[in-house]
Amino acid sequence: VLAVCCLSLPTNSRSFPFLFPLNTRLSIMGQGQSAPAGAVRPELLVSELVGEVRDSDYYARSTHLLDNFVMDDPTQGKFDPADALTLDEAYKLVSPGYLNLEHGYVRMRDGTWYVACLTDLGHEVNGEMFDWWFRNCDSGEKFRWWHPVDHVSGTYEPQFYAVMPQERQKGHYVDHIHIIEEKLDGVKHFFQIEYERPSKLFDVSTFAENDITACVVGRIFDRDPTLGLIAVGHVMHMVREVNGRSELRSRFWIGNVQYPETVENIVFARIVNSIVSTWLFRITKIPSSTARALWVHCSQEMHCLREFLPHYYQAARRDQEIRSEDF
């Protein structure tokens, strides 16, 4: 039964000092990769040949950024659990200002983890573009732009594609399932994110007055090799404007593991859920390395998004205008 939680990740000795400026010249070898002296990674071949990273080379832009991405983790998750928000307290994120825990992670009193990530999107990315990305990140290629090292594949369930990209409206991803394969701290996971309406957590009528321009909410499922798909937590991304810039506040609630109950398995499922919901199980099977890996991963992928999304968004809009003129 203990195999139900596939969140446990090995601890390693890598450190992640904080982010360098995005326009710093980046080294070719990074993220712990190695290659013979003078060798060029295939994904960077074009940029090396032309001597620069083109605006349209989204994969290379993210790869270069990750080569230079370093983070500092001075607290090592040692925040006060009282600074964490429960899922029922997520509504506090709508209010202006900042909370005590905006960038870091802490184990909550029930043994689960609260992970907070704050990303400055600057003037480059706004809420409309952020929402547009979630309804247009519809292939494995695009998903890998988002994090070339950790992202392996990502698609939606077939019903998502019933609407053509140019016809997808804001929030098109809601009630759809993102099926992804990605690595956290080098360990491969098969996740599904079921996107939900922000109104499940927030009074969305207050978004405009608080300068909130986008909000993405989802429930996270992980595929366990023994038990199959199990719920492991929730995710929320909120974009708001502050002094003319956009900032992204990401939140993860991880460790509330739930095995789905059906008529056929109700006895077994309830036994499993009674075990995985205990404080002892969460302390034992969900170490700090899990929370830290998720925090680092989110910080990296959102800075990658800031790096390539403005170029991709503008290029896609131009292509759409050209197609419209042709008709």
Report the percentage of the chain scoring pLDDT > 70: 82
Collapsing DSSP states into helix, strand and coil, what is residue 117? strand
Residues 137 and 57: their CA atoms lie apart, in Å, by: 16
- Residue 292 is which amino acid? R
Nearest CA-CA partner of 306 in 223, 221, 247: 247
170, HSE (Cβ side, Cα atoms, 13 Å): 10
pLDDT at 248: 98
For residue 223 the two structure tokens come to 């595929």
Instruction: Provide the residue ranges of all domains of the chain, joining segments of one domain with +.
Output: 77-326
- How far apart CA 129 and CA 260 sit, in angstroms, is 35
H/E stretch holding 103 reads: none
Indicate the burial class of 15 (C-beta count within 10 angstroms; 0-12, 13-18, 19 or more). exposed
Greatest Cα pair distance, the chain, in angstroms, is 63
- The pTM of the full predicted model, rounded to 2 decimals, is 0.84
Nearest Cα residue to 194 out of 223, 217, 172 = 217
Which tens digits make up the pLDDT trace of 89-99? 999 999 999 99
CATH 3.30.530.20 fits 77-326, yes or no: yes
H or E stretch at 284 = helix 279-285
To the nearest 10 degrees (0 to 180), the angle between helices 288-326 and 58-67 is 150
Sheet holding 113-122, edge to edge: 104-107, 113-122, 245-258, 228-242, 212-224, 187-196, 177-184, 151-156
At residue 320, the pLDDT reads: 79
Question: Side chain identity at 203, as an amino acid letter?
Answer: D
Task: Identify whether the C-beta of residue 181 lies closer than 8 Å to the C-beta of residue 153.
Answer: yes
Below-70 pLDDT ranges, the chain: 1-43, 45-51, 74-77, 324-327
Per-residue pLDDT of 185-199, as tens digits, reads 899 999 999 999 999
Type of residue found at 90: A
Residue 305 one-letter amino acid: L
Structure tokens at 162: 């019933």
Phi, psi of 127 (to 5 degrees): -65, -40
Give the Cα separation of 127 and 246 in Å (integer): 8
Count of helices and strands (H, E) across the chain: 7, 8
How big is the chain by its Cα radius of gyration, in Å? 20
Residue 4's pLDDT is 38
Q: How many residues does the chain have?
A: 327
Specify the pLDDT at position 319. 86
